[in-house]
Amino acid sequence: MNPQPTVDFNPYAVLTVDTEADDERIRAAYLAKLKQFPPDRCPAEFEQVRDAYELLRDRRRRALYTLFSVNPEAPLQSLMGGMDNQRRFAGPAPWMAVLKRR
């Protein structure tokens, strides 16, 4: 299950590791949190811990999350706050005029 794209979700904070943590440290923190929040007693916390580990255990997804601070699997619309039709393409970008001059 992929973490839900919310502003409050920070997998590093959930597992209490820093952004420089290696795979072994992330796994150790995950196992420690599993002992702290067993699924039968704390299902909501367990899901957060599981989702955080699922995001951080894959190096590609972890790098994308660390770089952009968003879930790389989340839909773009939800990350943009449900952008509606108010922001539409208003024409060519100013830098395109520079490219046309060459």
In this prediction, residue 24 carries a pLDDT of 96
- Rg of the chain over all Cα atoms, to the nearest angstrom: 19
pLDDT tens, position by position, for the chain (102 residues)?
Answer: 554 445 568 899 999 998 889 999 999 999 999 999 999 999 999 999 999 999 999 998 888 887 877 555 555 444 445 444 444 444 555 554 555 555
The Cα diameter of the chain in Å comes to 66
- Predicted TM-score (pTM) of the model is 0.62
- Looking at residue 2, its amino acid is N
In the chain, the domains with their CATH numbers are: 11-82 (1.10.287.110)
CA dist., res. 30 & res. 71, Å (int): 18
CA dist., res. 2 & res. 53, Å (int): 10
